[in-house]
Amino acid sequence: MKQTVRCQCGALYEREEHQTVVRWRDAFNCVVCGREIEDWSRSRRAIFRLIRRPVSLPERPPSG
């Protein structure tokens, strides 16, 4: 079952739960703003795919 999840920064993700997935991460952070979108227990995992970026991107870090 697929859902769409929206981050506070405006990024839109497709979320799909998997019960038997190869070892995955314990949490998912937004690839755009870095905010944690979801953390889950070891029995339930979800995969997120970025399907739409926010209109206004956050400022880039001042690292060169």
Site residues for Zn ion per CB under 5 A:
7, 9, 11, 30, 32-33, 35
Element (H, E) at 43: none
What is the number of the residue whose Cβ is closest to Zn ion? 30
The answer to whether 40 touches 29, Cβ cutoff 8 Å, is: no
Smallest distance from Zn ion to CB 18, Å: 22
Q: Are strands 27-29 and 12-18 parallel, antiparallel or unpaired?
A: unpaired
Q: Which is nearer to Zn ion, 21 or 58 (CB)?
A: 58
Residue that the structure tokens 């880039």 belong to: 60
Smallest distance from Zn ion to CB 28, Å: 11
